[in-house]
Chains A and B, each alone.
Chain A
């Protein structure tokens, strides 16, 4: 009994319960992608400024001329340099994330499926119309799944349409699949709009959920997770 008593009497410092919410690959992909997507949007808008239309050159009808203040690169060539550098980081980190989700099986938690559709509206009502919070039944709620799955969709669309704009002849079959060079520019712009719509909502949610939640996207470990007593 003496040895047992010794063990019990060993002074133990108070412990903190932490949960590993975000695997390393996901965090790395998230932050590389976050930087890349901002660079790509701002430099892309500067590129778009060179020909802010989706129609013919003659006669040119401008769709929208992005103000220089929200663009990166200073001029067309500068913007192309940023775009052609960070597109590799964007695609690389995106691929890293998607492959990891597939291999790890985590995609099941986050991929938006038809069965998630009924749950979207209650979450929207809760967040934006002060409705009652629906019970938490899974790692990600239906609105989160929709948002995160959408970003992957926007990423795939911007990658494929970007590939067509980058090499329309080498990928002539993809050019044809996307409806031609001009429509590829439209898809690319729309995917950008998707990211622009996602980012503020995402940032507001991060702010509302506080430092502890944000910190878990950096170190992976969340302190005192809400699902542990």
Chain B
């Protein structure tokens, strides 16, 4: 193998350090491991028997097993659990990313969309015909003062008005003007256990929602009773709706009739759209 010998001499880093004459003249011939050769871009080059090549190819193929694992996604019966895992992982990281005091930048009045360009969204009826005169908000669960609260009682709390962006899961967005009471103010006032994990919402149109306590207590989360300086109109959720710039549109429950502070979310009661496949966290 004169050629290999020549190359190996060249590659040997300390070729000149030890005189070759003293070495066993057969040493290089007995050395079965060929010294590395390299292509123009640094590719390692080997001369392999078909058997060696087959072994290497099989080994390298096996190392790509993680790619084959993705094939599980092609099996229909495995898709729901796999995709659900992906969705829950996304929600888990989203919750970790959430800054409890990180504010959405608010917008100037000139950036607010005209009222007639703020879309109405509903899943069943635009107006569930709430009897506004008799309406009360039922507060229950882990609260010191459960009961039915009137709109006047809620409006007696400090009012916050802000221009924030509404983002729909479909991809559209609109900046609106919203007034109401901070969720944190209201929950403190009702004596809610602020260490509880979730808040559930029931709506007059049988829509239902639930959110994490951190979002409930976010400074920009409102129980909204005003839009554009006027009482919330029926299509936008009169008399009281959730307004959270840190959540997608489907989390903004309208026509609220009851809220419940809880540590447990029942499966199938996490939210109207969430129970059909949307992600529960829905955070922005």
Taking beta carbons and an 8 Å cutoff, which residues of A are in contact with B?
A: 3-4, 7, 13-21, 24, 27-28, 31-32, 35, 39, 47-48, 50-51, 53, 56-60, 75-78, 80-82, 84-89, 109, 138-139, 165-170, 172, 176, 181-182, 185, 218-223, 225, 227-228
Q: Do residues A225 and B60 form an inter-chain contact, with CB atoms below 8 A?
A: no
Bound Cα distance from A82 to B118, whole angstroms = 30
Contacts of A86 in B (CB 8 A): 86
Contacts of A48 in B (CB 8 A): 171
B45-85, CB < 8 A from A? 45-51, 53, 56-57, 60-61, 63-64, 66-67, 70, 73, 82-85
Q: Do residues A181 and B66 form an inter-chain contact, with CB atoms below 8 A?
A: no
Among B53, B63, B171, the residue within 8 A (CB) of A18 is B53
Q: Is B119 an interface residue (CB 8 A)?
A: yes
Contacts of A84 in B (CB 8 A): 86-87, 90, 279
Contacts of B94 in A (CB 8 A): 166-167
Interface centre among B44, B94, B169, B172 (most CB of A within 10 A): B172
Instruction: Jot down 12 A-B pairs with beta carbons below 8 A, ordered by A.
Output: A19-B44, A24-B63, A28-B64, A51-B170, A56-B172, A76-B170, A80-B169, A139-B41, A167-B283, A169-B102, A181-B173, A228-B45
Distance (whole angstroms) from the CB of B250 to the closest CB of chain A: 10
Query: Secondary structure of the B side of the interface?
Result: mixed
Which residue of chain B lies nearest to A165 when distances are taken between CB atoms in the complex?
A: B171
Q: Do residues A181 and B165 form an inter-chain contact, with CB atoms below 8 A?
A: yes
Which residue of chain A lies nearest to B41 when distances are taken between CB atoms in the complex?
A: A139
Contacts of A77 in B (CB 8 A): 273, 276-278
Q: Do residues B102 and A16 form an inter-chain contact, with CB atoms below 8 A?
A: no
Q: How many A-B residue pairs have CB under 8 A?
A: 179
Q: Do residues B70 and A16 form an inter-chain contact, with CB atoms below 8 A?
A: no
Q: Do residues B48 and A78 form an inter-chain contact, with CB atoms below 8 A?
A: no
Question: Which 3 A-B residue pairs are closest in the complex by CB-CB distance?
Answer: A85-B86, A139-B41, A77-B277
Distance (whole angstroms) from the CB of B74 to the closest CB of chain A: 10
Contacts of B90 in A (CB 8 A): 84-85, 87-88
Contacts of B53 in A (CB 8 A): 16, 18, 221, 223
Q: Is B15 an interface residue (CB 8 A)?
A: no
Q: Given A20-B43, A181-B173, A221-B53 in contact, is the A168-B60 Cβ separation under 8 Å? A: no
Contacts of A78 in B (CB 8 A): 83, 277
Q: Is B167 an interface residue (CB 8 A)?
A: yes
Bound Cα distance from A77 to B98, whole angstroms = 22
Q: Do residues A169 and B104 form an inter-chain contact, with CB atoms below 8 A?
A: yes
Contacts of B46 in A (CB 8 A): 17-20, 221
Besides the known contacts A57-B117, A166-B94, A181-B173, 16 further A-B residue pairs in the complex with CB atoms under 8 A apart = A4-B29, A13-B50, A15-B48, A20-B44, A47-B171, A50-B169, A57-B172, A57-B174, A59-B117, A80-B87, A85-B89, A139-B40, A168-B167, A219-B57, A225-B45, A228-B45
Q: Given A169-B245, A172-B104 in contact, is the A21-B43 Cβ separation under 8 Å? A: yes
Q: Do residues B41 and A221 form an inter-chain contact, with CB atoms below 8 A?
A: no
